[in-house]
Amino acid sequence: MTQQLGGLAPASGPGRFFHLAHLPGGQQTTVKGLGWRGCAPEGGGGGGEGPLMGDDPTRFDRSRTSGEEYHKSVLLEEVTHCLEPQEGKLYLDGTLGGGGHAEQLLRAGAKVIGLDQDPAALSFARARLGEYEENFGAIQGNFRSFGEILDTIGIRGLDGILLDLGVSSRQLENPERGFAFGSDGPLDMRMNPEADITAEDIVNSQDEEELARIFYQYGEEKASRRIAKAIVEAREKETICTTGQLAGVVERVRPRKGRIHPATRVFQALRIAVNDELRSLEAALSEVPRWLRPGGRIVVISFHSLEDRIVKTFFKRCSKPYIDRPEWPEPRPNPDYCFKLVMQKGLSPSPEEIKLNPRARSARLRVAERIAE
Ligand SMILES: C[S@@+](CC[C@H](N)C(=O)[O-])C[C@H]1O[C@@H](n2cnc3c(N)ncnc32)[C@H](O)[C@@H]1O
């Protein structure tokens, strides 16, 4: 769900303080770093300013953490290389997560604004990156509205943007968040615990045709129709409210063969639907040209062919100086031309990285550079 921002005014007092008035919860609190003020989420979800690790406030110990127990950052060196961080540059990390990529940028002396829609991620990253307080600010929000958020805090331009899509290992592994079927938990799947729609809502309220569409389109699930039918039959007997129940229904239609659990694609599809992931990506990309300064770069890491196609198509559309159509006598200047492709093809993790971090195996990095008007 898009965060509501509005009614903003600079706060009084020294420094660059701003109020983010209409974030969910409406509470005013200091957004640590860069002298900004933002809003804490209302209770629950591991939010607030405390030094949390994941969702449990008692588990954070900065002396013990490298951040890898939260999430192992993918293509870390490659991202850093592409973004060329240095003192004086300002970056937006639209998917802050455990703060691993942001930390690399901060270490190089750059400033970073970190966004995440999950308050538990923000708490972890704030605690981990506390030593960079002067150069780092973390804000809860959806990257689909990053332009609005930056406007709110008075930012005018960026030297780089990073979107490392999907969920973190911590979100995936916490049964309470309902992203996986490894251990039973509520069928939730919201990255933002304050968002309106859960996976349970979708599974128990959408009609058979819509469920089949979600599984086929977002999960490329071949048995989408049969699974949708089985879900509708099962929910007539009892509400499907746990990950275990849903995995069981899928497994009855598609018995387990090999290593991959038969419900993997269904869970992925539901997660994409619950968090409206594809439309958030499209909305964020459309804002990028306005925010990047000439020479600034956008790096996107995707883990799904649909996401990668959106990024690839967008970069391609914006990197052609001219466009042509059969009915035109000659090519015309492309009004969307604003990027140079830094790499023609997407970059995948090395076999060594995949061996150390199997979750990186489907990652694809694409990068484009803003050209001068
Ligand atoms: C793969 S993790 C990022 C990991 C991070 N780069 C690191 O090095 O630790 C993705 C994070 O992005 C957040 N996220 C995903 N989609 C988002 C969106 N539309 N807006 C804001 N945050 C989002 C998730 O909550 C998650 O914490």
pLDDT at 5 over 60: no
The predicted-structure confidence for 314-348, as pLDDT tens digits, reads as follows 999 999 999 999 999 999 999 999 999 999 999 99
Q: Output the pLDDT for position 17.
A: 24
The predicted-structure confidence for 47-104, as pLDDT tens digits, reads as follows 332 222 234 433 434 444 567 778 899 999 999 999 999 999 999 999 999 999 999 9
pLDDT at 11 over 70: no
pLDDT at 110 over 70: yes
In angstroms, rounded to a whole number, what is the distance separating the alpha carbons of residues 170 and 114?
A: 18
Which architecture does CATH list for 175-275? Answer: Orthogonal Bundle (1.10)
308 CB less than 6 Å from ligand 1? no
Return the domain boundaries, the chain: 20-164+280-370, 175-275
Q: Output the pLDDT for position 133.
A: 92
Considering the chain, what percentage of its residues have pLDDT values greater than 70? 82
168 CB less than 6 Å from ligand 1? yes
In angstroms, rounded to a whole number, what is the distance separating the alpha carbons of residues 195 and 83?
A: 32
Rounded distance from Cα 118 to ligand 1 centre (Å): 8
Which of 14-18, 109-113, 279-283, 362-366 shows the lowest per-residue confidence on average (mean pLDDT)? 14-18
Burial 213-227 (b: 16+ CB within 10 A, else e): bbbbebbebebbbeb
The predicted-structure confidence for 240-254, as pLDDT tens digits, reads as follows 999 999 999 999 999
Nearest CA to ligand 1 atom 12: 95
Rounded distance from Cα 164 to ligand 1 centre (Å): 6
Nearest CA to ligand 1 atom 24: 167
pLDDT at 46 over 60: no
Q: Output the pLDDT for position 288.
A: 98
The predicted-structure confidence for 196-242, as pLDDT tens digits, reads as follows 999 999 999 999 999 999 999 999 999 999 999 999 999 999 999 99
pLDDT at 24 over 60: no
pLDDT at 40 over 50: no
For 118, phi and psi rounded to 5 degrees?
-100, 115
Which has the closest alpha carbon to 164: 364, 6, 370?
Answer: 364
Which strand (E) or helix (H) includes residue 294?
strand 292-302
Structure tokens at 318: 């914006």
117 CB less than 6 Å from ligand 1? yes
Q: Comparing 20-164+280-370 with 175-275, is the CATH topology the same?
A: no
Which architecture does CATH list for 20-164+280-370? Answer: 3-Layer(aba) Sandwich (3.40)
pLDDT at 44 over 90: no
Q: From residue 186, how far is each of 55, 178, 245, 251 by CA, in Å?
A: 15, 5, 10, 18
Task: Output the average pLDDT for the chain.
Answer: 85
Q: Output the pLDDT for position 66.
A: 65
Q: Output the pLDDT for position 32.
A: 39
Rounded distance from Cα 96 to ligand 1 centre (Å): 5
Which of 53-62, 122-131, 300-309 shows the lowest per-residue confidence on average (mean pLDDT)? 53-62
* Whole-prediction pTM: 0.85
Rounded distance from Cα 327 to ligand 1 centre (Å): 44
As a dihedral over the C-alpha atoms of residue 145, residue 148, residue 151, residue 157, rounded to 10 degrees, the angle is: 40
Q: Output the pLDDT for position 183.
A: 83
